[in-house]
């Protein structure tokens, strides 16, 4: 058993935090059956923090077996909604109690700002867990009137074993999106965190153990997506997979489902959010939200507003302010700095990918208005970058970059910008800045996207469903709507009078 302890000595977090870096299966931290370790790196420095045990196919098998046993004996139909509610709420309380440690670990392996994690990501995760704790004892079916001689009703039953595969950009938050509704509805979970940012999820496993969940109800198995993730997606005893990540991987999970047991799937995939600023917008606020929309967490968000459409009457003014904001924020630092700093991208691989897109934009004739390069020699920092003079068929316009890179397009009419905004294979979110309520109504109806934000940037709320259209996936996370994806509906007909 390997325990990693990290010492902190700064004004934001003083002291140490420890995390068990082995697999969490059947209520215990265990060694993988076939030892394989993965290095975890601090993106602000590029230096290795620690190594973690990586789960393989055999480890996924035993995690699923533990979950299946728990579903049949100590969880699922054997536990009341009140008991599930109590344990989920206790987990939320423990997350709150250990928020400093959780935030520190996520800042360490993701490079994100500790303050932002604690006040935004972790706050969302805690609220999500407590929200679904509130749902656990309020789930029910319906009675359906059919015939006077029959009594018909529906039951919502847990699916059984759910696989949750979460990305590296928001580990704690997306873990709560999977665990909350799955556990509230009586399912057991095998959670596969990204091998790039696994530390907070492993700490969360300790809190799940402390909260008193029966062994096997939640299992946490970090590992490579091509190994552990694929094994989970193909497993014949997994009834559902909820995945957040790339469209390419989402396709592979669908194929695995079709080639195995037709397990149910929720996919929250990539995006290329249009961010539309009209002449009548509150320009100061529109600029602030727009800048945050493509640079927060170095643009590593599926809802990042990277296609920026500006109406011609305010184009020059908005561009001037966006460029100034980009120059002022090009300030790399650690996740524990007191003043706001630019986040790095998460890895060398991601750095190379984003810089490759920037090179592609230059090669295809786009003009760089600001940024365009790497910041510093240490860590994985990229300057906030804006391209102008772009064409619709350019890679930087069409494809998800997942870095602090936006493309800016001037438009004249509503019809023009609506055609451009919907010309995408993605449909996750859209942002509009205007004071015209009639225009808002028209665009909300016409935009082909799962979420529309008006005069605010894309941001999740645990009470509000999120999910995409087109190649941004299907199914919903968050809110009451997410619960629908974690139960099987059984219809029961009782004949109390009809005779043959």
Check pLDDT > 60 for residue 1: no
Which has the closest alpha carbon to 471: 254, 242, 275, 164? 254
Q: What is the DSSP letter of 480?
A: G
Q: Calculate what percentage of the chain has a pLDDT beyond 70.
A: 99
- The β-bridge relationship of strands 381-382 and 385-388 is unpaired
- The β-bridge relationship of strands 307-311 and 274-277 is parallel
The active-site residue out of 101, 195, 268, 400 is 268
pLDDT of residue 273: 98
In this prediction, residue 377 has a pLDDT band, given cuts at 50, 70 and 90, of confident
Tokens, residue 186: 């009586």
Listing from the earlier edge strand, what are the strands of the sheet with 487-495?
143-144, 150-158, 487-495
The active-site residue out of 302, 383, 400, 431 is 302
- The β-bridge relationship of strands 188-192 and 218-220 is parallel
Distance of CA 139 to the CA centre of its chain: 25
Please say if 188 is a catalytic residue: no
According to CATH, the topology of domain 274-461 is: Aldehyde Dehydrogenase; Chain A, domain 2 (3.40.309)
- Inter-CA distances, 166 with 142, 221, 266, 303, Å: 33, 11, 12, 16
Residues with Cβ within 8 Å of residue 68, at least 6 apart in sequence: 160, 161, 188, 216, 237
Q: What is the DSSP letter of 54?
A: P
Residues with Cβ within 8 Å of residue 344, at least 6 apart in sequence: 43, 44, 111, 298, 332, 351, 379, 380, 381, 382
* pLDDT, greater one: 315 or 1: 315
Q: What is the CATH number of domain 3-269+474-489?
A: 3.40.605.10
In this prediction, residue 13 has a pLDDT band, given cuts at 50, 70 and 90, of confident
Residues with Cβ within 8 Å of residue 102, at least 6 apart in sequence: 95, 122, 172, 200, 203, 204
In this prediction, residue 331 has a pLDDT band, given cuts at 50, 70 and 90, of confident
Check pLDDT > 70 for residue 268: yes
Domain map of the chain by residue range? 3-269+474-489, 274-461
Cα–Cα distance between 486 and 136 in angstroms, integer? 12
pLDDT tens, residue by residue, 119-157:
999 999 999 999 999 999 999 999 999 999 999 999 999
pTM: 0.96
In this prediction, residue 9 has a pLDDT band, given cuts at 50, 70 and 90, of low
DSSP string, 209-248: HHHTPPTTSEEE----IIIIIHHHHH-TT--EEEEES-HH
């Amino acid at each position: 058993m390997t325990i990693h302890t990290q010492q902190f000595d700064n004004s934001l977090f003083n002291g140490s935090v420890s995390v068990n870096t082995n697999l969490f299966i059947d209520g215990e931290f265990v060694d993988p059956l076939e030892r394989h370790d993965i290095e975890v790196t601090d993106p602000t420095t590029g230096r290795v923090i620690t190594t973690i045990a990586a789960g393989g196919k055999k480890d996924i098998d035993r995690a699923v077996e533990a979950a299946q046993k728990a579903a049949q004996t100590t969880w699922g139909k054997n536990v009341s909604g009140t008991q599930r509610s109590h344990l989920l709420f206790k987990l939320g309380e423990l997350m709150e109690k250990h928020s400093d440690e959780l935030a520190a670990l996520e800042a360490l392996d993701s490079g994100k700002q500790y303050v932002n994690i604690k006040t935004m990501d972790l706050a969302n995760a805690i609220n999500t867990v407590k929200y679904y704790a509130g749902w656990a004892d309020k789930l029910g079916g319906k009675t359906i009137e059919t015939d006077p001689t029959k009594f018909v009703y529906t039951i919502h039953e847990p699916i059984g074993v759910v696989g949750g595969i979460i990305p590296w950009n928001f580990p704690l938050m997306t873990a709560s999106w999977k665990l909350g509704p799955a556990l509230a509805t009586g399912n057991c979970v095998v959670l596969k965190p990204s091998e790039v940012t696994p530390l907070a999820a492993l700490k969360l496993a300790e809190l799940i153990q402390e909260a008193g969940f029966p062994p096997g109800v939640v299992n946490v198995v970090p590992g490579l997506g091509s190994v552990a993730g694929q094994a989970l997606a193909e497993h014949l005893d997994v009834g559902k997979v909820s995945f957040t990540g790339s469209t390419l991987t989402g396709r592979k999970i669908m194929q695995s489902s079709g080639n195995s047991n037709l397990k149910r799937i929720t996919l929250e995939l990539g995006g290329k959010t249009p961010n539309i600023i009209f002449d009548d917008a509150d320009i100061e606020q529109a600029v602030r939200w727009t800048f945050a929309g493509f640079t927060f967490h170095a643009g590593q968000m599926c809802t990042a507003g990277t296609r920026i459409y500006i109406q011609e009457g305010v184009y020059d003014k908005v561009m001037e302010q966006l460029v100034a904001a980009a120059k002022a924020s090009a300030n790399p630092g650690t996740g524990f700095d007191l003043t706001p700093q630019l986040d790095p991208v998460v890895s060398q691989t991601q750095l190379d990918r984003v810089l490759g897109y920037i090179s592609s934009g230059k090669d295809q004739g786009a003009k760089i208005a600001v940024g365009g390069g790497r910041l510093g020699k240490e860590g994985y920092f990229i300057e906030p970058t804006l391209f102008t003079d772009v064409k619709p068929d350019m890679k930087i316009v069409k494809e998800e970059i997942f870095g602090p890179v936006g493309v800016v397009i001037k438009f004249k009419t509503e019809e023009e910008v609506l055609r451009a905004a919907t010309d995408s294979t993605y449909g996750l979110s859209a942002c509009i800045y205007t004071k015209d309520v009639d225009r808002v109504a028209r665009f909300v109806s016409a935009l082909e996207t799962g979420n529309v934000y008006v005069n605010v940037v894309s941001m999740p709320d645990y009470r509000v469903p999120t999910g995409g259209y087109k190649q941004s996936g299907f199914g919903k996370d968050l809110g009451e709507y997410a619960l629908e994806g974690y139960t099987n509906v059984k219809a029961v007909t009782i004949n109390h009078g009809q005779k043959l």
